[in-house]
């Protein structure tokens, strides 16, 4: 288009410079060549280039789609090949295991047949020689001793509970009296050389006796606290009840310190046999035995 425009312009210039031929200019209806607008020519060229670029882009898009489809097909084929390979491998392993099992079974059958044949030959030889086969001695059944606590029965548990209750009531009463009559406790401590500044020991002793009474009543750690109570009672008897005098007082039934002696003996009994079935100790022991069996 640019060349045509250039030729037209050049032709017009030549005509203007040399002068138009009268014959040509005198033709009826004739007109000089009109040049085309350069902007129109540029727009047409740009449109042509745009169409070419669009066609090229479309071709590239189609090529990309074809490449993607080919890649997807190749990936699917690779996945199928991998799955087929895994399946073949598993089948080979299964066949190998089956073959090994078959061989082992055949070997066992051969060994069993050989052992049976050998046993028959031995039996025939011993029968011909008159050999008497020894009779196999049977093992005596093992006797399993199951130890059952008699204190877990109803009567034993009830008896020990009542004994614990009596001891707990007496110990708790003594502890409460120690807290209520602090002056008497201070006087008792001063008799054995403990100064009044340490009179709080009587309060601590009273609180401790109440705690021991509660634990004895419910049967918690009975052996431990019974041992502590027995030691405390023995110390009390040595320092406050027995001395360089006769324990038998005129006009007094029993002997001096008889209640403490009986309480100490009961505490020692609980140390030896435990709290019985109606106690927290028994519940914990049964739970521990159940856990060991499991």
Residues 91, 97, 103, 109, CA torsion sign: negative
- Say what the pLDDT of residue 131 is: 55
Q: Judge if 70 and 182 occupy the same domain.
A: no
Residue that is last in its domain, among 73, 98, 128: 128
Q: Which parts of the chain sit beneath pLDDT 70?
A: 1-36, 130-141, 144-149, 192, 195-197, 199, 243-247, 294
Phi, psi of 289 (to 5 degrees): -65, -40
Within a domain: 138: no
Q: pLDDT tens, 229-240?
A: 999 888 888 877
Which residues span the domain enclosing 238? 150-293
What's the predicted TM-score (pTM) here? 0.45
Q: Judge if 88 and 5 occupy the same domain.
A: yes
- Say what the pLDDT of residue 275 is: 86
- Cα–Cα distance measured from residue 268 to residue 222, given in angstroms and rounded to the nearest whole number: 11
- Cα–Cα distance measured from residue 181 to residue 294, given in angstroms and rounded to the nearest whole number: 53
Residue that is last in its domain, among 128, 159, 180: 128
CA neighbor of 99 nearest in space, from 83, 107, 115, 88 = 107
| Angle formed by the axes of helices 200-218 and 222-236, nearest 10° | 140
First to last CA, the chain: 104
- Say what the pLDDT of residue 199 is: 67
Q: Judge if 114 and 169 occupy the same domain.
A: no
Residue that is last in its domain, among 128, 162, 178: 128
| Angle formed by the axes of helices 200-218 and 182-191, nearest 10° | 110
Residue 221: which residues within 8 A CB-CB, separation 6 or more?
Answer: 215, 281
Within a domain: 194: yes
Structural domain count, the chain = 2
Q: pLDDT tens, 36-88?
A: 678 888 888 888 989 999 999 999 999 999 999 999 999 998 998 888 998 99
CA neighbor of 277 nearest in space, from 151, 159, 165, 162 = 151
Give the max Cα distance, the chain.
184
- Say what the pLDDT of residue 17 is: 41
Residue 168: which residues within 8 A CB-CB, separation 6 or more?
Answer: 213, 214, 216, 217
């Amino acid at each position: 288009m640019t060349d045509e425009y250039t030729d037209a312009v050049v032709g017009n210039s030549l005509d203007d410079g040399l002068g138009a031929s009268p014959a040509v200019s005198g033709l009826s209806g004739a007109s000089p060549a009109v040049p085309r607008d350069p902007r129109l020519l540029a727009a047409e060229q740009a449109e042509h280039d745009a169409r070419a670029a669009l066609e090229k882009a479309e071709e590239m898009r189609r090529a990309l789609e074809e490449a993607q489809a080919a890649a997807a097909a190749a990936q699917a084929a690779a996945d199928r090949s991998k799955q087929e390979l895994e399946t073949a491998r598993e089948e080979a392993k299964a066949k190998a295991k089956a073959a090994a099992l078959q061989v082992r079974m055949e070997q066992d059958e051969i060994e069993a047949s050989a052992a049976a044949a050998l046993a028959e030959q031995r039996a025939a030889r011993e029968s011909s020689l008159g050999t008497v086969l020894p009779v196999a001695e049977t093992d005596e059944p093992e006797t399993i001793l199951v130890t059952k606590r008699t204190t877990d029965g109803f009567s034993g548990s009830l008896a020990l509970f009542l004994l614990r209750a009596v001891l707990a009531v007496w110990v708790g009463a003594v502890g409460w009296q120690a807290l209520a009559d602090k002056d008497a406790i201070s006087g008792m401590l001063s008799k054995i050389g403990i100064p009044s500044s340490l009179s709080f020991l009587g309060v601590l002793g009273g609180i401790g006796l109440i705690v021991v009474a509660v634990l004895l009543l419910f049967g918690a750690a009975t052996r431990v606290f019974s041992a502590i109570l027995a030691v405390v009672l023995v110390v009390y008897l040595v320092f406050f009840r027995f001395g360089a005098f006769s324990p038998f007082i005129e006009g007094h039934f029993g002997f001096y310190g008889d209640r403490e002696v009986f309480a100490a003996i009961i505490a020692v009994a609980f140390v030896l046999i435990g709290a019985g079935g109606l106690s927290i100790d028994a519940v914990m022991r049964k739970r521990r035995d159940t856990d060991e069996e499991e």
